[in-house]
Structure 1
């Protein structure tokens, strides 16, 4: 099987890039259909207008869930006015929805994250949930986004919790890539891991450890330092290319399993993935120094290391086993681990990670 790496045609990151959106869109068309939130529109529209030129823009308010109901609604609305380009501006679910809509309409898509809370922007993947917010499936797309634009001035002014959540999502990248490499798994773009993808995954982790705390403290003050720029790139590009071209394994499967527990729905994707990373490391019986480095990082930046920190205070065996079973679903990525994993194994690892988190965070 061939080695394959996927990447957006263009990745653009810098302060003030939002005003160049229409200029960049000129490569694809003049009729932009922009999916964003109501509050997001208020933040970005003044900058977009500054460089709008002869582009026509239709704004659509996202209804809150990346589900087939919402995808079909937007597809119909965008098609009815003859839109040339689908543009997603906002967080991960908006971006995944925009990618899915563009795929079903056979239109180019521009992805403009206003937060760095997930690695969704660069991937040829949409995570589809039910209308109620429970994980349903991965929609693997034939191509990466045509363009990704990151205005770091806007991203750095978002609530610090969002950047921290992005670090939680990015934290899994190297460990899942390593697991997939060991199992010789097929990556998210249908090939085997390249040297470049593995190197990006390692660089992602090294950047988090080297700059994560500095970036966290800076964004809490609403400022964009070099460390913030580096973490935005790690959360968005390094993690996005790293996970997709190296592969997903235990951490994201654990995240998907946790969606079966309703209390976790109030937490961000990356917060659940961070805990999933700890669970994967427990499954692997990882080296103590490695496990402690990850635990210390999570505690320092404020990522969850216990079930309680994910809102789960009732931890009956039946509830946790429900999450463990969903994490081991045949269509999920737990099968990319380099050894057989059963729901019983996942149950034990979840409870073991929770015990470790409680021991070190409360001591």
Structure 2
């Protein structure tokens, strides 16, 4: 008799341990050392490495760890994972430590999954909930989304050092707000009528998350390191992860993330952040609800989001994403990817074709651009 597949019924809700505070990285060496004595540190770009390098070396020396490090490059891709697996084997690593943004953490988590080793995540920005989740996204070497991998557990240890996150550009937290707030708009439409207890809990937590972000984001951005800023960081990194853990894939991604996945296949979108593309994808999802279902509530919801986006600096249009010159062929390819048979967009309660998605993307951009101007300045105002 075959053994059951644990992934088919296991629920990966949360990391085994979360340590958070200001300047705590040097205080957690014991917790790291209990998980392994030969860590491989997987990091991202120069900024992430520079903000942890001296503290990491001090921690390694103090706890007599035999550590080495590697970068995920050129992206969180199959090529990169092959290289990282070889480095881990050569080092005889008994622990993986991921440091950086979403892709660095995804690469580290997947490496630990493949090597069957413990994993510690240390985010250096509030841009995603990747430090929390039992999921890794895989991209091409050029940064185009390929697929995601469900992992067998959440991280063994998540270290949230507010001082590290405060060194990140403000843009990263704004993007994290866009990624996190999508939880409500995606979970409510895909799972809002579910009778399942944990799904109900996830959807309601997504509503709470949205309200926290509406209330505190602007003040958080104005005062980095302040109380509201910390609460928003907790929301984007931790609470967003809770929702995905409780609700599973059904509450994790729908059309907003599908739009993101498609846009990554346009080369000009490479320098835009994950949450920026997701935030635009929320507007497109709402536009689809208007167009396909005639949902007037989606119209007012989109207008509310446009005001919120304006207040904190989230992108509202293809132009804001640097894609104003994208060709129709590129948009068609993006829409085809977003509407593939295995895409999360099909968790919407209605079917969507690539043609409908392109129309929603373009009309979302037109409405957003026209809404920035006083009516008298617009020669041909477009109605939502």
The answer to whether the superposition gives a TM-score over 0.5 is: yes
Q: CA deviation at 1:162?
A: 0.8
**Which structure 2 residues correspond to residues 265-304 of structure 1 after superposition, within 5 A?**
265-285=270-290, 287=297, 288-304=299-315
Query: 246-255 or 340-349, which moves further after superposition?
Result: 340-349
Tell me whether 1:47 sits opposite 2:55 in the alignment. Answer: yes
Tell me whether 1:105 sits opposite 2:110 in the alignment. Answer: no
- Residues 193 and 295 (structure 1), Cα distance of their counterparts in 2 relative to 1, 3 Å cut: farther
Whole-Å separation in 1 of the counterparts to 2:326 and 2:92: 51
**Which structure 2 residues correspond to residues 319-330 of structure 1 after superposition, within 5 A?**
319-330=330-341
Which residue of 190, 194, 199 corresponds with 2:199? 194
Q: CA deviation at 1:236?
A: 0.6
Decide whether the 8 Å contact of 1:179 with 1:337 is kept in 2: yes
Tell me whether 1:13 sits opposite 2:20 in the alignment. Answer: yes
Decide whether the 8 Å contact of 2:68 with 2:91 is kept in 1: no
Whole-Å separation in 2 of the counterparts to 1:27 and 1:318: 53
SS in 2 for 1:137: strand
| Larger of the two Rg values belongs to structure | 2
Whole-Å separation in 2 of the counterparts to 1:196 and 1:54: 43
Query: 108-117 or 171-180, which moves further after superposition?
Result: 171-180
Whole-Å separation in 2 of the counterparts to 1:63 and 1:175: 33
Decide whether the 8 Å contact of 2:26 with 2:56 is kept in 1: yes
Decide whether the 8 Å contact of 1:117 with 1:167 is kept in 2: yes
Q: Which residue of 2 aligns with 1:335?
A: 346
Which residue of 21, 40, 44 corresponds with 1:33? 40
Q: Which residue of 1 aligns with 2:233?
A: 232
- Residues 199 and 27 (structure 1), Cα distance of their counterparts in 2 relative to 1, 3 Å cut: farther
Whole-Å separation in 2 of the counterparts to 1:181 and 1:75: 37
- Residues 136 and 183 (structure 1), Cα distance of their counterparts in 2 relative to 1, 3 Å cut: farther
Decide whether the 8 Å contact of 2:33 with 2:63 is kept in 1: no
Tell me whether 1:155 sits opposite 2:176 in the alignment. Answer: no
Whole-Å separation in 1 of the counterparts to 2:183 and 2:73: 29
Q: CA deviation at 1:362?
A: 3.6
Decide whether the 8 Å contact of 1:4 with 1:193 is kept in 2: no
Whole-Å separation in 2 of the counterparts to 1:269 and 1:99: 18
SS in 2 for 1:194: helix
Whole-Å separation in 1 of the counterparts to 2:48 and 2:203: 34
- Structure 1 gaps of 5+ residues are 186-190
Q: CA deviation at 1:11?
A: 2.1
SS in 1 for 2:320: helix
TM-score (norm 2): 0.87
Tell me whether 1:209 sits opposite 2:219 in the alignment. Answer: no
- Structure 2 gaps of 5+ residues are 1-7, 375-384
Q: CA deviation at 1:339?
A: 1.3
Whole-Å separation in 1 of the counterparts to 2:281 and 2:27: 37
Higher relative contact order (CA 8 A, sep 6+): 1
Whole-Å separation in 2 of the counterparts to 1:313 and 1:161: 20
